[in-house]
């Protein structure tokens, strides 16, 4: 039974006759049968919903979001699975090492990695490797959420990255 048929059936069952005929039908049905002997009628929509499974996408989205939040909290407090130190490398060398590091991390199933790039105290202006690391994370397909390390880890000289799950 498709939804259109259900609606047609519902309209037939709920349609009320017009005029004198309607009054006559109402009077005769209540007098003859009485309210106690009427069988329980189930509207077609309720019958269809009983037969077919109902999927609540809003509830499923809330469950998924809750699961994601729990995973995120766990990963935020977790120690990194691997660490790479970029001190002393040129931009090109650092970029290549980051590509290899992230690819291998995803292949090995790592969830969180740490990139040590330094604060750039010995650079002219801002830290060269810190900016390079930020650009790399923005365009890397494996990199998810990221942020600077805690003061105990090295503060702005360290970036943690949550790796995206392999698809």
The per-residue DSSP string of 38-78 comes to PPPP--HHHHHHHHSPP--HHHHHHHHHHHHHHHHHHHHHS
Choose the weakest-confidence range: 37-46, 74-83, 104-113, 125-134: 37-46
- At 99-139, the pLDDT tens digits run 999 899 999 988 889 998 887 656 566 668 888 889 988 99
**Range from 35-44, 80-89, 126-135 that averages highest in pLDDT:** 80-89
Calculate what percentage of the chain has a pLDDT beyond 90. Answer: 10
Pairwise pLDDT comparison (39 vs 92), residue with the higher score: 92
Residue 146's nearest CA partner among 133, 136, 131, 159 is 159
Q: Where do you find CATH 3.30.1370.110 in the chain?
A: 79-163
Domain covering 79-163 in this structure, CATH number: 3.30.1370.110
């Amino acid at each position: 039974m498709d939804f259109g048929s259900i609606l047609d059936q519902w309209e037939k069952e709920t349609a009320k006759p017009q005029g004198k005929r309607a009054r006559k039908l109402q009077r005769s049905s209540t007098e003859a049968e009485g309210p106690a002997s009427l069988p329980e009628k189930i509207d077609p929509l309720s019958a269809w919903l009983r037969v077919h499974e109902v999927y609540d996408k809003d509830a499923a989205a809330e469950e998924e979001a809750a699961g994601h939040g729990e995973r995120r909290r766990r990963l935020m407090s977790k120690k990194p699975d691997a660490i790479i130190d970029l001190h002393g490398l040129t931009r090109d060398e650092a970029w290549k090492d980051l590509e290899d590091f992230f690819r291998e991390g995803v292949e090995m199933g790592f969830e969180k990695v740490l990139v040590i790039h330094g604060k750039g105290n010995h650079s002219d202006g801002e830290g060269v490797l810190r900016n390079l690391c930020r650009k790399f994370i923005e365009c890397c397909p494996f990199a998810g959420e990221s942020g600077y390390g805690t003061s105990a880890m090295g503060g702005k000289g360290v970036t943690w990255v949550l790796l995206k799950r392999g698809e």
